[in-house]
A and B are shown apart, each in its own frame.
Chain A
Amino acid sequence: MNDTKPKLNPSSDSGLMLPHTNRIKLLSFPYIIWMAGFIIIPLVMILFYGLTNKENSFTLENLAAIAEPINLQALGLALLLSIISTVICLILSYPLSIILNNIKLKSNSLIIFIIILPMWMNFLLRTIAWQNILEKSGTLNTLLTFLHLPTINIINTPAAIILGMVYNYLPFMILPIYNVLIKIDQDVINAARDLGANTLQTFTKIIFPLSLPGVISGITMVFVPSLTTFAISSILGGSKILLMGNVIEQQFTLGNWHAGSGLSLVLMIFVLLCMAILSKYDKEAEGSNIW
């Protein structure tokens, strides 16, 4: 192809058609090699370790280990806690996003800035600070005693883990919802009002369906890390409460790589299943956008 002569008619569906497209494709080599080497092959490694035993012969034992009571319990508890914290995050974030959207600020970067700022302090340290707040004689109970209110003892319980998850992942729910809400055209809402819809109807028929993509991405961004965490549970849950992440981490510290990989595979399947269900809803939401 003649390099100096630009192609006049970019007939392909891609956005930018530079004249020397073939040469541009060469640019993808480092990327393709990197992704193949450090994403695809490692996943194959997990698959290999998960499906073999120490003698390198094929086995389903590692996958079946999930049926052991302790592992099953860890998976069940992780699912339960992550679902609860995702729901709490959603319940807290949606009204907040609506309120923030209603304050007509000159720029929305300030809001995003305030929400993101805490994330710049190491998340382990912030979680440790919650230990301080929640401890028997911690900040919260000192305050409650001062106000002559009953004290709360939730440290080292599942409730503390839920709090830690909600705390750590709340920004990941607020931001996507807020971002879709600010993009909703005010004229659409006005039109609904003109046609006689009341506030509730406007919300259920217009605002909520339009915000669904943000809600879905928020749910994904809170649910997956909550389901798989081991740091939050080991800091706020004491050593007795084991989530799926803790079980996998223990297997690897004990050197049982095959068992750990098997359990990781199970966890990955769960994550993929949840994503598949969510993406189904996402498609439906997209479909309803086209009237």
Chain B
Amino acid sequence: MVKNFFSRFYIGIILLFLYAPIIILIVLSFNQSKSRAKWGGFTLKWYGELFQNDDIMRALYTTLILAFVSALIATIIGTAGAFAINSMKKTPRFIMMGVTNIPMLNADIVTGISLMLLFVALRFSLGFTSVLLAHITFNIPYVLLSVMPKLKQLNPNTFEAAQDLGASPIYAFFKVILPDILPGIISGYFLAFTMSLDDFVITYFTKGPEINTLSTKIYTEVRKGIKPEIYALSTIMFVAILILLILVNRKNADKHVPIRK
């Protein structure tokens, strides 16, 4: 009983720790006062002004397009790469996986700086394209590492059986292999999307002065004070993700047999 109480208390404390800043941000989005320090009464005006603020809307647009496109390209290259690596012999596979792990283990600041040096050396102007290339680069490993385990689980006999039964290799691929690895591809895409959405350091070094994502915009505003519209925007995004994830979870919970005994 005591142990049970302690367990609950401990979980509660950790959750409070994890969610306290989020509660603060949501409260700030309804704060009449422009200053973070004091409460000026309840208001919804920041939610209205948010959509009139071109700077923030442009940063939001850049962030979303960047995440969408970089995750898409990374998914295509990463999935193709996963197929190829999976059919390789041991040594080349080992080397390929080693290179794949570099951006995941290396410090973000080093990855960001190294890419910036490359773009500058190639006289490639820093802007949307350079950030996009950088995002694809750090996204590919996430896709590859989500697709690989699914490929390993594949039973090669089913593919052969399909062909023995008269399916062309392409048809067999779409009917037999793709459905099996699709969950890996989808989770790879969402992982890549999230990483791109949340990245600050690599974007900061590769972006150039013309464009801003939400992260870099927030960072430049830290010193002069964050605009309350940003709190409103992040509250909207948080609630949207929350609803989306609850819906997905519900659906999965219905479908899946409990994992644990």
B131 interfacial by beta-carbon distance below 8 Å: no
Chain A residues within 8 Å of B110, by CB? 46, 228, 264, 267-268, 271
Checking B10, B77, B102, B200 against A231 with a beta-carbon cut-off of 8 angstroms, the contacting residue is: B200
Count A/B pairs, Cβ under 8 Å.
257
In the complex, the chain A residue whose C-beta lies closest to that of B244 is A120
- Closest chain-B Cβ to A75's Cβ sits at a distance in Å of 13
Of A17, A118, A248, the contact of B109 (CB 8 Å cutoff): A248
Q: Given A45-B117, A96-B10, A230-B109, check contact A107 B256 (CB 8 Å).
A: yes
Contact indicator B99/A40 (Cβ below 8 Å): yes
Q: Is A191 positioned at the interface, with any CB of B under 8 Å from its CB?
A: no
Interchain CB contact under 8 A, A18 and B113: no
**B117 touching A267 by the CB < 8 A rule?**
no
Interface majority SS (helix, strand, loop, mixed), chain A: helix
Contact code string A8-51 (vs B, CB < 8 Å = 1, else 0) = 10101111111111001111101110110011111101100100
The answer to whether A39 and B137 have CB atoms under 8 Å apart is yes
> Using a CB-CB cutoff of 8 Å, which residues 200-247 of chain B contact chain A?
200-201, 205, 214-215, 218-219, 222, 226, 230-231, 234, 237-238, 241-242, 245
* Contacts known (A96-B11, A99-B11, A117-B242); A132 close to B198, Cβ less than 8 A: no
Q: How far is the CA of A135 from the CA of B238 in the complex (A)?
A: 25
- Assess the A257–B81 pair: CB atoms within 8 A: no
Q: Which stretch in B41-49, B64-72, B150-158 binds the other chain?
A: B150-158
Answer whether residue B169 sits at the interface, using C-beta atoms and an 8 A cutoff: yes
Cβ of B78 within 8 Å of any chain A Cβ, yes or no, is yes
Using known A-B contacts A19-B163, A137-B37, determine if residue A49 contacts B117 with beta carbons closer than 8 Å.
yes
Q: In the complex, are the beta carbons of A109 and B81 less than 8 A apart?
A: no
Does A203 have its Cβ within 8 Å of any Cβ on chain B? no
- A271 → chain B closest CB, angstroms: 6
Q: Is the CB of B109 within 8 A of A122?
A: no
B11 touches A46 (CB 8 A): no
Q: How far is the CA of A36 from the CA of B146 in the complex (A)?
A: 21
The answer to whether the Cβ of B22 comes within 8 Å of any Cβ in the partner chain is yes
- A252 contact set on B, CB distance < 8 A: 113, 116, 205
Chain A residues in the interface with B (C-beta under 8 A): 3-4, 6, 8, 10, 12-21, 24-28, 30-32, 34-35, 38-43, 45-46, 49, 92, 95-96, 99-100, 102-110, 113-115, 117-133, 135, 137-139, 167, 170-171, 182, 186, 220, 224-225, 227-228, 230-231, 234-235, 245, 248-249, 252, 257, 260-261, 264, 267-268, 271, 275
Residues of B that sit less than 8 Å from A by CB: 7, 10-11, 14-15, 17-22, 24-25, 28, 36-37, 77-78, 80-81, 83-90, 93, 96, 99-100, 102-103, 105-111, 113-118, 121, 133-134, 136-137, 140, 144, 151-154, 156, 159-160, 163-164, 169, 194, 198, 200-201, 205, 214-215, 218-219, 222, 226, 230-231, 234, 237-238, 241-242, 245, 249, 252-253, 256, 258-261
Interface pairs A-B: 4 shortest CB-CB: A28-B84, A31-B81, A42-B114, A129-B21
